[in-house]
Chains A and B, each alone.
Chain A
């Protein structure tokens, strides 16, 4: 350990020596000398944290092998000088060699020394960089674990970062960043409401209280549609991609959200007792919902066709400039209205179900729907974890 420290201080001293000679006009060279244990300490401060870390690690530096005294002549010189400054100390500390050797070999010596120094510095830098990478990697693994844990609890964790990949989403615009944050809160609130519904429906609850819970649940969904509308204005592709949702939810994506007909499919088995009128109404709702959905889907297809035509307009093979870029942009603007229409459809479907069902049935419906999406989110995180275990 002591030898290490001596070696290290030797290295530092050499560095200052060379720097000193580089700063001054003459080709002086400070001879190495044995220094005590304490000397290197105040030299550390000038080197920054990275080297401190390295020393702190027990001196695992490879550099000792590179302490080469460039010229044996220097060793013999007993002109001890303390160069505790960063080399700008100036002439009194420098050893004049011009008397002993000619200029030429001196320059070569100096160049060699500089090379060695540069190489050593570069090695040290590389070491520091690798160290930083290691720390970052550990931090990242830790963060991914936290994300996983949060996901398993059903909370939304966002930016569409999969726990397997290290890909990061592109810099978001503020509208989208705000939406993601709001959506995180929305999910938390949603989980709370579902919990409350579950507890309340297991026991006795007054119709008034239940109606209030149902109203809140409905309003919560309508809030989401409002948020999505604002987000679509900020970046419609973001909403369309469903990147703000978990992977399993994304699988079922239809124009930026869930399919209204899917909603009905999920809910209907949960209503055990329905009047004839209710059954008829629900049947009609299913049919009209499906028809509206189909019409919107076909409209979307037409939009895709016209956009493709626009982009491929003119002759391909003549450059990347879209001849009718303005009309292509107009097509993309139309996407916003499609997203809004799809959300409107979801809104209306929920509204109609609320109208058809009794309060208690509506409460059960909201609970079923909420749990369905919770399960989808849980499935996403299970899938992500499973995938990681395999690698």
Chain B
């Protein structure tokens, strides 16, 4: 994602340099955007309204007394790019993508594995609300 000198020095009149840097810029932009969205405090989940596994993950966090920040990306104009970025970051499936404290936890598989091994609750403990003692 960095500019190479060859683009500037070679003076390639056939290749529109402007367009290429624009594409790069968009990629960086998207990554920045994703980073910004995921770094919000607490649990952040990227979802799609049509995805029922996303709903599953949301239900699970609700049961754990956590109110995650939901980013429904199918309403975002950059939806496709965001999906690609999420996959690039290392999420097994683009949605649901779960971040806790700015760090990627993973998709449904990873969340389930963590929970069954008992490692999920300690991770989200600072973000659990004390409003209700539901099981």
**Which residues of A are at the interface with B, using a C-beta cutoff of 8 A?**
281, 284-285, 287-289, 291-292, 294-296, 298-300, 302-303, 306, 327, 330-331, 334, 337-338, 341, 344-345, 348-349, 351-352, 355
Contacts and interface: CB of A to CB of B under 8 A. Distances in A.
Contacts of A287: 135
Interface size class of B (residues with CB under 8 A): 20 to 34
B53 A338 contact: yes
B115 A288 contact: yes
A344 B120 CA distance: 16
B17 to A, nearest CB: 40
B22 interface: no
5 contacts: A300-B52, A341-B109, A345-B112, A345-B116, A349-B116
A298 B54 CA distance: 11
Given A299-B55, A302-B52, 8 more contacts: A288-B120, A291-B60, A291-B63, A298-B56, A330-B50, A334-B52, A338-B52, A341-B53
Nearest to B135: A287
B62 to A, nearest CB: 9
Contacts, number: 71
A331 B55 CA distance: 14
Contact of B59 (A288, A294, A352): A294
Contacts of B121: 288
B51 interface: yes
Interface of B: 50-53, 55-57, 59-60, 63-64, 93, 108-109, 112-113, 115-118, 120-121, 135
A229 to B, nearest CB: 12
Contacts of A302: 52, 55
Contacts of B51: 334
B109 A284 contact: no
A348 B59 contact: no
Nearest to B108: A341
B109 A344 contact: yes
B128 to A, nearest CB: 13
